[in-house]
Amino acid sequence: MTMLSKRNPQLNKHGELVHLLSTEGLPRAVIHQILDTAGTFLSVNDREVKKVPLLRGKSVFNLFFENSTRTRTTFEIAAKRLSADVINLDIARSSTAKGETLLDTVANLSAMHADMFVVRHSESGAPYLIAQHCAPHVHVVNAGDGRHAHPTQGLLDMYTIRHYKKDFTQLTVAIVGDIVHSRVARSDIHALNILGVPEIRAVGPKTLVPGDLKDMGVRVCHDMAEGMRDADVIIMLRLQNERMSGAMLPSAGEYFKSFGLTPEKLALAKPDAIVMHPGPINRGVEISSSVADGQHSVILPQVTFGIAVRMAVMSILAGNEA
């Protein structure tokens, strides 16, 4: 095993992607490869027959230990458009509920000749553990683990930004909301840094913005006006009430007054700013309907791009040997 693969479990000895576990540590060239490949798949969505044969004969197992209809659906669509056989497993209600360990579950599924695992898990690091213990030919895609990472969401966000803004090296990007609980925010910040974005802002109340972000080169703003001023890209995040313990906010109404994105606050950003959101949206909590449905919003295109990006990731992984 080379030093490269020891240092980054996502890459083989040639520096090629064999698992997608995090945007952290990805070479810039690999991110650009994924974004470029996704661009070639966008046209597939417009065809009458929306299929290409790149994963024909391969089996993709969606292992969702945590619910997410939206992410699982886009992975399923992406895999089917690549002509893979897709198996959706409701793991939370099956084997692990009966006491089977995570690794025993993976070993049994590997014996069913799985080629790829798409893993969503409430525990940070679970996809890494699976990647370490699965058969050498099996590829693992992290579809969200705990508060840690959501790399395909991060990459589709990068695709969206590149589509509308072309050059990362001149941008100011504001990430607004519940950053402390957000694996999307962490994946975005790592990717933005790798791609050379000079100004990344984390905007939100002190209870929802972690203190270690400054170490990641992020400017922390606890005032919405400061965070919005002259921003090119605004990424709004959902308030993750299900992950909050105790009262971290006075009320949804108070939060919206201070940090909800309204036309008035958006007016502080650049005139051609884009507004993004990973979904699902809480209208009237983190974003007003007039902004979510307005001319600056690219929230629905993000969903379309997400399918192409997930097709790109799976096709690249399938083409690389461990």
Query: Can you say which residues are annotated as belonging to the binding site for L-aspartate?
Result: 98, 183, 238
The answer to whether the beta carbons of residues 178 and 238 sit under 8 Å apart is yes
The answer to whether the beta carbons of residues 10 and 320 sit under 8 Å apart is no
Q: Which carries the bigger pLDDT value, residue 26 or residue 3?
A: 26
CA distances from 276 to 67, 90, 201, 249 (A): 22, 30, 14, 23
DSSP tag of 299:
H
Query: Can you say which residues are annotated as belonging to the binding site for carbamoyl phosphate?
Result: 70-71, 120, 150, 153, 279-280
The answer to whether the beta carbons of residues 170 and 147 sit under 8 Å apart is no
**Mean of pLDDT values over 266-274:** 98
The letter for the amino acid at 139 is H
pLDDT of 19 reads 97
Phi, psi of 73 (to 5 degrees): -65, -45
Query: Can you say which residues are annotated as belonging to the binding site?
Result: 70-71, 98, 120, 150, 153, 183, 238, 279-280
Domains assigned to the chain: 3-150+304-318 (3.40.50.1370), 151-300 (3.40.50.1370)
Cα 275 to chain centroid distance, Å, stands at 16
What is the reported pTM?
Answer: 0.93
- 84: alpha, beta or left? (left if phi > 0; alpha if psi -120 to 50): beta
**Mean of pLDDT values over 174-191:** 95
Helices 299-318 + 69-81 axis angle, to 10: 50
The answer to whether the beta carbons of residues 25 and 10 sit under 8 Å apart is yes
Average pLDDT, the chain: 90
Look at 53-62, 248-257, 279-288, 298-307 and tell me which has the smallest mean pLDDT.
Answer: 248-257
pLDDT of 45 reads 76
The two structure tokens encoding residue 38: 């996704």
| Confidence bin at 245 (pLDDT 50/70/90) | very low
**Mean of pLDDT values over 220-240:** 95
pLDDT of 172 reads 98
Q: Does the pLDDT of residue 95 top 60, yes or no? A: no
User: How does pLDDT run across 27-86, given as a tens digit for each residue?
Assistant: 999 999 999 999 999 988 778 888 999 999 999 999 998 878 889 999 999 999 999 999
